[in-house]
């Protein structure tokens, strides 16, 4: 445990602040102050369609994106005829027209950041030459956005030479024209659920265009502001009535933070400039997944809980093998929760950024592997209970309380802090949604979803996605926390354990 003293001080202040009810509003950085400036600003903003003020979830995300957080996707497409620059542009314009959250920007209005429609629609799309997808992606993932005018997403097309090998060789070569598409979506404007969903929509649009079928301009989804921040205010009011509960809640909140076990076991890497790196995505075997899922089902546990348990148990093995022996390992993790579950009055997909991380802290026994499914059951109950109480809202409320008085999101990010959570687990896998199913004229032959998080406070990430009806596992890591070799060991352990515990 580190920074205990700082926490202690903050903690007292937070409790006092909550009970004494003066919560300073974080001052906005770099907002126009002078009257003249205001005047120009007002003129420039004429005719802007303002949507809603950004809540602190969105504001925080803006600061994190400025500090290097990004979400990108790469798709490899095989088509019956070539996907030209013009064809892709046409498809992207359709996507633009259909999805309103792709048409927003974020600009200040009367001292606060607002979500607004872009003053002019602009597409950030280019074809790039070069043959190395990874190379193109590593430059692309860190390229900045124009927050004030938009667009808050961008795309790049890379065509592939005729003889490029197919990433899914088991599929008979039927669509000989291959290309890569790179997509980057500003996380404050749209979350991973929208990204998954818009890539599927794009592939469908491309398929229609290649078939010569018209694409309608019918809107899909509905831009909504977050309800999580409102929920948080209610929780704060409730806790204000009950100081004992507040103290306990803060204790729990702080208890979840510690130096990641991998950093404790392997030491702190010495890198000048940290980056996020990725291991090659792994497609999980469908049959094993079915066995794993049916074991979960018979226990009444979710596969989400079981995957968390897998990650925990593999982490325990990796640090044990590095010589770190304990009876119990405290593991801290973050679980992004889709807060769309709190939106009751939206019939289509609520667009925007609705994801809030939920921390989870579990004492994991060293012999967890022997009692794996019991452990799953225990974890499942814990996670369910937290979700039921909307613990992600409570945790964010407590985190806001812990911030120093004159805090702005930007300042908090500026000074580098040590990671304090072991990992983050993003689960966007669903066996029911046939993501990237084959179309008539275009197939997705490879896909990957990336997040860069080297200035965030966790050591590594595990992502589970759907790919052609199968689960795809990805493991990104921050070079400021662990080495590639250690990350590789974690991935191998997860895979070995996955097969091990799924055996009859
Ligand atoms: C995809 O395109 C590549 C490059 O032309 C080709 O080698 C491969 O066989 C194609 N795959 C399919 C499934 O059509
Ligand atoms: C690290 O980043 C700084 C600032 O971007 C740059 O000036 C420096 O050359 C980088 N150092 C290395 C070792 O890459
Ligand atoms: C694990 O967490 C428990 C409860 O929060 C704490 O008492 C214990 O000291 C922690 N153990 C380690 C090794 O950090
Ligand atoms: C995995 O570890 C996290 C962090 O300690 C914990 O919250 C969670 O309950 C654990 N999961 C399982 C299935 O044990
Ligand atoms: C894998 O299993 C899922 C459901 O369990 C199914 O929908 C999908 O078609 C299967 N995929 C393959 C490639 O067999």
Residue 226 pLDDT exceeds 50:
yes
User: What values do phi and psi take at 367, rounded to 5?
Assistant: -95, 30
Cβ–ligand 2 distance for 30 under 6 Å, the answer: no
| Atom 4, ligand 2: residue with shortest CA distance | 273
Measure the CA–CA gap between 368 and 375, rounded to whole angstroms. Answer: 7
- Look at residue 155 in the predicted model and tell me its pLDDT: 97
Taking residues 179-205, report their average pLDDT. Answer: 93
User: Which atom of ligand 2 sits closest to the CA of residue 273?
Assistant: 1
Ligand 1 centroid to Cα of residue 156, in Å, is: 20
Lowest mean pLDDT of 128-137, 315-324, 427-436, name the range. Answer: 427-436
Q: Which of 319, 361, 422, 494 to mutate to test the pocket of ligand 4 (most atoms within 8 A of CB)?
A: 361
Comparing 50-223 with 232-433+455-502, is the CATH topology the same? Answer: yes
- Phi–psi pair at 351, nearest 5 degrees: -90, 160
Tens digit of each residue's pLDDT (9 = 90 or more) over 55-69: 888 888 999 899 889
Closest ligand to residue 142's CA: 2
- What is the C-alpha to C-alpha distance for residues 481 and 471, in angstroms, rounded to an integer? 27
The per-residue pLDDT for range 143-157, each reduced to its tens digit, is 999 999 999 999 999
For residue 290, the ligand 5 atom closest to its alpha carbon is: 5
Q: How far is the CA of 331 from the centre of ligand 3 (A)?
A: 10
| Residue 501 CB less than 6 A away from ligand 4 | no
pLDDT band at 245 (very low <50, low <70, confident <90, very high): confident
Residue 370: pLDDT band (50, 70, 90) is confident
Cut 0.85: pTM above it: no
Phi, psi of 356 (to 5 degrees): -130, 130
Mean pLDDT of the chain: 83
- Residue 292 pLDDT > 60, yes or no? yes
Q: How much is the CA Rg of the chain, to the nearest whole Å?
A: 23
Number of helices (H), then strands (E), in the chain: 15, 18
Mean pLDDT calculated for residue range 300-306: 89
Tell whether the model's pLDDT for residue 76 goes beyond 90: yes
Atom of ligand 4 nearest to the CA of 330: 5
User: Class assignment of domain 232-433+455-502?
Assistant: alpha beta
Decide if pLDDT at 422 tops 90: yes
What pLDDT does residue 10 have? 31
CA distance 60 to 322: 36
Tokens of 51: 């949507």
**Is residue 28 predicted with pLDDT exceeding 50?**
no
Distance 78 CA to ligand 1 centre (A): 6
Predicted confidence band at 163 (pLDDT cuts at 50, 70, 90)?
confident
Closest atom, ligand 3, to C-alpha of 255: 5
Shortest-distance atom of ligand 1 to CA 174: 14
Tokens of 168: 């899914």
When pLDDT is averaged across residues 428-454 and rounded to a whole number, the result is 82
Each residue's pLDDT tens digit, 320-350: 999 999 998 988 888 887 878 777 777 888 8
The closest residue, in CA terms, to atom 2 on ligand 2 is: 273
Give dist(CA 246, CA 201) in Å, integer: 45
Query: Which of 285, 286, 297, 303 maximizes ligand 5 atoms within 8 Å of its Cβ, making it the mutation to test the pocket?
Result: 286
Smallest-distance ligand from the CA of 270: 2
Pocket test for ligand 2, best of 138, 271, 272 (most atoms within 8 A of CB): 272
**Looking up tokens 């398929």, which residue turns up?**
207
Q: Please state the φ and ψ torsions of residue 181, each to the nearest 5 degrees.
A: -120, 130
Q: Does the beta carbon of 270 lie inside 6 Å of ligand 2?
A: no
Give the pLDDT score at 27. Answer: 37
Q: What is the pLDDT of residues 400-415, one digit of tens each?
A: 777 665 555 554 444 5
Beta carbons within 8 Å of 38's beta carbon, 6+ residues apart: 32
Q: Which atom of ligand 5 is nearest to the CA of 469?
A: 8
How far apart are the C-alpha atoms of 252 and 9, rounded to whole Å? 16
Closest ligand 4 atom to 360 CA? 7
| CA 362–ligand 4 middle distance (angstroms) | 4
What's the rounded mean pLDDT across residues 281-298? 93
Instruction: Please tell me the distance between residue 330's alpha carbon and the centre of ligand 3 in angstroms.
Output: 6
How confident is the model over 2-24, as pLDDT tens digits? 222 233 323 333 333 333 333 33
Cα–Cα distance, 251 to 253 (Å, whole number): 5
Q: Is the CB of 309 under 6 A from ligand 4?
A: yes
CA of 375 to the centre of ligand 4 (A): 9
State the pLDDT at residue 37. 56
d(C-alpha 313, C-alpha 481), whole Å? 20
- Nearest residue (CA) to ligand 4, atom 1: 312
What's the start-to-end Cα distance of the chain, in Å? 40
Domain residue spans in the chain?
A: 50-223, 232-433+455-502
DSSP state of 28: P
Residues with CB under 6 A from ligand 5: 286, 290, 431, 468-470
Protein fold of 50-223: Chloramphenicol Acetyltransferase (3.30.559)
373 in helix, strand or coil? helix
The single residue listed with the structure tokens 């580190």 is 2
Instruction: Considering only residues 50 and 468, tell me which one the structure prediction assigns the higher pLDDT.
Output: 50
Q: Is the peptide bond before 195 cis (omega within 30 degrees of 0)?
A: no
Return the pLDDT at 38: 59
More confident residue, 100 or 258: 100
User: Which one is predicted more confidently, 355 or 214?
Assistant: 214
Q: Which ligand approaches the C-alpha of residue 327 most closely?
A: 3
- Residue 317, pLDDT > 50, answer yes
Write down the pLDDT at residue 385: 85
pLDDT at 2: 25
Ligand nearest to the backbone CA of 429: 5
């Amino acid at each position: 445990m580190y920074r205990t003293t700082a926490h202690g001080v903050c903690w007292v202040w937070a409790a006092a602040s909550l009970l004494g009810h003066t919560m300073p509003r974080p001052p906005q950085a770099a907002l126009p102050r002078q009257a003249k400036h205001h005047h120009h600003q007002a003129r420039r903003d004429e005719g802007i369609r303002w949507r809603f003020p950004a809540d602190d979830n969105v504001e925080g995300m803006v600061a994190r994106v400025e500090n290097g957080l990004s979400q990108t996707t790469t798709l490899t497409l095989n088509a019956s005829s070539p996907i030209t620059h013009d064809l892709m542009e046409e498809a992207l314009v359709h996507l633009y027209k259909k999805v309103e959250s792709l048409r927003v920007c974020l600009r200040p209005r009367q001292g606060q950041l607002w979500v607004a429609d872009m003053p002019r629609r602009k597409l950030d799309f280019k074809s790039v030459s070069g043959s190395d997808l990874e190379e193109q992606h590593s430059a692309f993932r860190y390229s900045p956005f124009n927050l004030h005018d938009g667009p808050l997403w961008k795309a790049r097309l890379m065509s592939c030479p005729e003889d490029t090998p197919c990433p899914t060789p088991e599929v008979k070569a039927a669509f000989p024209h291959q290309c890569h598409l790179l997509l980057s979506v500003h996380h404050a404007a749209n979350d991973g659920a929208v990204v998954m969903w818009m890539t599927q929509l794009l592939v469908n649009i491309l398929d229609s265009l290649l078939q010569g079928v018209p694409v309608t301009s019918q809107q899909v989804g509905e831009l909504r502001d977050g309800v999580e921040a409102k929920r948080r205010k209610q929780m704060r009011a409730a806790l204000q009535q009950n100081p004992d509960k507040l103290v306990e809640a803060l204790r729990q909140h702080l208890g979840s933070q510690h130096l990641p076990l991998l950093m404790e076991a392997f030491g702190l890497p010495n890198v000048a400039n940290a980056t996020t790196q990725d291991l090659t995505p792994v497609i999980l075997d469908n049959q094993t997944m079915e066995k794993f899922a049916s074991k979960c089902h018979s226990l009444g546990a979710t596969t989400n809980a079981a995957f968390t348990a897998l990650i925990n148990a593999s982490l325990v093995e990796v640090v044990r093998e590095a010589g770190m022996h304990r009876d119990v390992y405290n593991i801290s993790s973050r679980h992004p929760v889709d807060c769309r579950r709190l939106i009751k009055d939206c019939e289509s997909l609520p667009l925007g950024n609705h994801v809030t991380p939920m921390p989870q802290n579990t004492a994991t026994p060293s012999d967890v592997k022997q009692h794996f499914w019991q452990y799953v059951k225990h974890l499942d109950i814990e996670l369910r209970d937290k979700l039921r109480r909307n613990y992600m809202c409570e945790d964010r409320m407590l985190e806001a309380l812990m911030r120093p008085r004159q805090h702005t999101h930007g300042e908090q990010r500026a000074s580098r802090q040590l990671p304090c959570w072991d990992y983050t687990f993003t689960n966007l896998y669903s066996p029911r949604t046939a993501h990237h199913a084959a179309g008539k004229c275009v197939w997705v032959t490879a896909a990957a979803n990336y997040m860069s998080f080297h200035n965030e406070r966790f050591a590594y990430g595990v992502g589970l996605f759907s790919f052609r009806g199968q689960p795809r596992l990805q493991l990104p890591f921050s070079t400021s926390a662990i080495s590639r070799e250690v990350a590789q060991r974690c991935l191998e352990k997860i895979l070995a354990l996955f097969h091990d515990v799924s055996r009859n």
